[in-house]
Amino acid sequence: MLRINSEYSSDISQELEELFKALGNINRLLLIYSLSSSEIEKISVSEIAQMMELTQPAASQHLKVLKTAKILDAKKKGNHIYYTFNQRALIKHKKKIDFLFECVLSKCSDLE
């Protein structure tokens, strides 16, 4: 079982905090849902702004937060920057979230 004060739990907690902050905004969640449910593989700031009815600065800020949390990657092509899902980082994020819930659920089963 994971010890609360272990170095690993501290590291994973900080990483999860950043991830949950990025996901803790309705516009960013809607942006992720939009990207994951559409047939679009990459999207620019102006396309996101138009699709979500946001200003370009607001869309840009949301994309920056998601990029900082390694949910999205950015690649410049011509005059535009296109955003795609960062699959490798998303797999790591999922493992951390799964680990967190395994710890919680094991404690819950101990209480039953």
Full pLDDT tens readout for the chain, 112 residues: 445 556 666 788 888 999 999 999 999 999 999 889 878 888 999 999 999 999 999 999 999 999 999 999 999 999 999 999 999 999 999 999 998 888 888 877 665 5
Assigned domain for 31 exists: yes
Cβ contacts of 27 within 8 Å, gap of 6 or more: 52, 54, 58, 62
At 103 the pLDDT is 82
Number of domains in the chain: 1
Strand partners, 72: 85
At 106 the pLDDT is 81
Q: For 79-83, which contacts have Cβ atoms below 8 Å and span 24 or more sequence positions? A: 80/44, 80/45, 80/46, 81/44, 81/45, 82/42, 82/43, 82/44, 83/35, 83/42, 83/43, 83/44, 83/45, 83/48
Identify the CATH number of the domain in which residue 39 sits.
Answer: 1.10.10.10
At 82 the pLDDT is 95
User: Domain residues for 74?
Assistant: 7-111
Shortest CA distance to 69 belongs to which of 36, 22, 28? 22
Give me the residue label for tokens 């710890």: 103
Instruction: Show the tokens assigned to 66.
Output: 């998601």
At 1 the pLDDT is 46
At 8 the pLDDT is 63
Judge contact between 10 and 98, C-beta under 8 A: no
Assigned domain for 22 exists: yes
Assigned domain for 1 exists: no
Assigned domain for 105 exists: yes
Assigned domain for 2 exists: no
